Chains A and B, each alone.
Chain A
Amino acid sequence: MAGGASLDGMIETHELTKRYGSTTAVDRLSLVVKPGRVTGFLGPNGSGKSTTLRMILGLAHPTGGHALVGGRPYSELRRPLHEVGAMLDPGAVHPGRTARDHLRSIALTTGISAARVGAVLELTGLTPVARRRVGGFSLGMRQRLGIAAALLGDPPAVILDEPVNGLDPEGIQWIRNLLRGMAAEGRAVLVSSHLMTEMEQTADHLIVIGRGRLIADTGMAEFVRGASRTDVLVRVDDPGRLASVLVGAGGDVASEADGALAVRGLAPRRIGDLAARADVAVHELAVRRATLEQAYFEATENAVEYRAGDGGRR
């Protein structure tokens, strides 16, 4: 891999497309997953996340476009487990094999030592059940086993498809720290999930897709800030008067149940100035940030609307 250092861990797709019969699962998707940060991969059910990941990993053949890992197609990687670790399906294990044998069978392909197998078992908390058959594992234990397999080659990039499914709170916190830690070490981390509050705490960057198409490829803070749900809560002694002033200044004002005003389209500072000029006493002025969940709903809802109107004519 001489000279390839700069591409280490980089995952990219170019115009990646996958059609199954008449459904287009992934539609000319171009994205770059950079090292050193956790990239959240979001989208509604059936939006093409898993299909995209499978194409990146050479498990599904693209109908069009291509995907690269560290600058090369997955199928051309000489030591793939050392380039990218992946967990797509925690159920993909032989129920009759022990956890340790499962990992060893993967490790053997590329000369990963038994000590490393022991290390990832320890890291994922599976050491006590290492010699038990996987068939008896709970969903959370299988998730951990899948993550252990992804980490075997100590890769500069990891791809995890819904890794927190079935994990207990301790496990969720563990994986959050694990992913953040890996990103801090300079690895690329691409992780899909439907758990928005969890994603909000874990990811730095977001790629959002809907019906196979890119909706957003942006920083977490930027994405959430962009949501229209970010507003300013104002509590004053005369809400009626301030409301008309704010509307006159171009604000979008709604009344809350307790008489407070929820204002959009005006910065907090401008609201304060306008209130002072109108001689209204301000009791509280607070920016209420949208949550990732709200931002996500807005982004994907728009996409679905757009697609629904578009879909009939295609």
Chain B
Amino acid sequence: MMRGAMASEWLKLRSVNSMRVTLPLACAASFVLAVAPFASDPARSAMSAAQLARYDAAGYCYSGGFLIVVLAVGVLGTLSATSEYGSGLIGTTFLAVPRRRAVLAAKAAVVGGAALLVGLVLSLATFLTAQRMLAGKHLAVGLGDPGAARAVAGAGAFLAVTALAGLAIGIVLRRATAATAAFLGLYVGANLVTGALGGAADAAGRWTPLQILKGLTSTRGASAALPGPTAAALECLAYLVVLLGLAALVIGRRDV
């Protein structure tokens, strides 16, 4: 039954335009905006020693433009749940697979898997393109350089985490507007708050999703507000356990 449920979720995911159009568009926009700034970075010879020490040829691939695909994938994740609740299709889904946690598991596997694949391809493409642009400036790093491969994998995995967080939020809240608002609140709003509070909110700042992404992809070390890669990965795990746990709890208890 699990295989059938996954096949069904996969078909549902790819047979609507929001996925077929929005996701490629978001990936393209994200890619272009992520690599473009590297063109205007100064060459190695024009940088001071301090600038050079800060310069993160791998991590910079996943700030800025990459956030577009992060937000898009998260919103699409919420949509994969809320569109079914909104239309009532979730009832049809539960008729075919009455064990509702199996439905959640199938959705999570498909949505998370697809986001992971897209994320890894996009993060690698972004990294390789950026390094090619930096080669002439003698700033490029390779996948073998310290932290680089981890940054690429971390960025890709973060997209999967984001899609799953969106899915879980969508299942818990059911309504598209509420779920989108909650997701954006968590991903954007939280950063605005901790940013405004400054140093006082450093401990909380380490837990905001965008700091987690930075922690996963930075090759220039952690700080008070920035978790290290291992801490960031554990924080991702904690988010998934809490959000998907909540979704698993409510999906079975509620009427449809």
On A, residues with C-beta under 8 Å from B are: 54, 57-61, 74-78, 80-81, 86, 88-89, 91-98, 101, 104-106, 108-111, 149
B96 touches A89 (CB 8 A): no
B5: interface (CB < 8 Å): yes
Chain B proximity of A25: nearest CB distance (Å) = 11
Instruction: Determine the chain B residues whose CB is within 8 A of the CB of A86 once the complex forms.
Output: 95
Instruction: Determine the chain B residues whose CB is within 8 A of the CB of A74 once the complex forms.
Output: 98
Chain B proximity of A65: nearest CB distance (Å) = 15
The docked-state distance in angstroms from the alpha carbon of A177 to that of B143 is 68
A60 touches B255 (CB 8 A): yes
**Partner of B95 from A81, A93, A95 at Cβ < 8 Å:** A81
B96 touches A106 (CB 8 A): yes
Chain A proximity of B55: nearest CB distance (Å) = 45
In the complex, residue of chain B having the shortest beta-carbon distance to the beta carbon of A101 = B15
Count of residues in B whose CB is under 8 Å from the partner chain:
27
A92 touches B4 (CB 8 A): no
B51: interface (CB < 8 Å): no
B17 touches A96 (CB 8 A): yes
A105 touches B88 (CB 8 A): no
Query: Does more than half of chain B's interface fall in helix, strand or loop, or is it mixed?
Result: helix
On B, residues with C-beta under 8 Å from A are: 1, 4-5, 7-8, 11-12, 15-18, 83-84, 87-89, 91-92, 94-99, 253, 255-256
* A94-B83, A109-B4 known; A80 vs B95 contact (CB < 8 Å): yes
B88 touches A92 (CB 8 A): yes
Known A81-B95, A94-B16; 13 more pairs at CB < 8 Å: A59-B91, A59-B255, A80-B97, A91-B87, A93-B89, A94-B12, A94-B87, A96-B16, A96-B18, A105-B12, A106-B8, A106-B92, A109-B5
A104 touches B11 (CB 8 A): yes
* A60-B255, A94-B83, A98-B15 known; A109 vs B89 contact (CB < 8 Å): no
A54 touches B12 (CB 8 A): no
A105 touches B8 (CB 8 A): yes
In the complex, residue of chain B having the shortest beta-carbon distance to the beta carbon of A153 = B96
Chain B proximity of A132: nearest CB distance (Å) = 13
**Partner of A59 from B5, B7, B15, B256 at Cβ < 8 Å:** B256
A92 touches B98 (CB 8 A): no
Chain A proximity of B105: nearest CB distance (Å) = 13
The docked-state distance in angstroms from the alpha carbon of A61 to that of B250 is 13
B256 touches A94 (CB 8 A): no
A110 touches B96 (CB 8 A): yes
In the complex, residue of chain B having the shortest beta-carbon distance to the beta carbon of A61 = B255
Instruction: Determine the chain A residues whose CB is within 8 A of the CB of B12 once the complex forms.
Output: 94, 97, 105
